[in-house]
Amino acid sequence: MSNNTELREMSDDQLEATAKEAAQTLFRLRFQSQSERLNTPSEIRKNRRLIARIKTIQTERQKTAK
């Protein structure tokens, strides 16, 4: 899902929904990491990078729209 070409093919609404979902997942993972041991600690990094990719694509689209 986090492939850059797949993200770039998404509409603005789909990107927003994916970013919101990733942010919620990141919150749960952070909460879980503080309260108990995570099975896959790398998921936190993956979600942070996914959110960063989405925000980068959104910023690029805003700049080209102007």
Taking a C-beta distance cutoff of 8 angstroms, is the pair 15, 54 a contact? yes
What is the reported pLDDT for 36? 86
- b/e for 23-50, b at 16 or more Cβ within 10 A? eebbeebeeeeeeeeeeeeebbeebeeb
Each residue of 6-30: pLDDT tens digit?
A: 999 999 999 999 999 999 999 999 9
Count up the domains in the chain and report the number: 1
CATH code of residue 15:
1.10.287
Report pTM. Answer: 0.88
Each residue of 32-61: pLDDT tens digit?
A: 999 988 889 999 999 999 999 999 999 999
What is the reported pLDDT for 15? 96
What is the Cα–Cα distance from 64 to 5, expressed in whole angstroms? 18
What is the reported pLDDT for 44? 95
Which residue range is the domain that position 38 belongs to? 4-65
Nearest to 22 by CA among 33, 34, 12, 30: 30
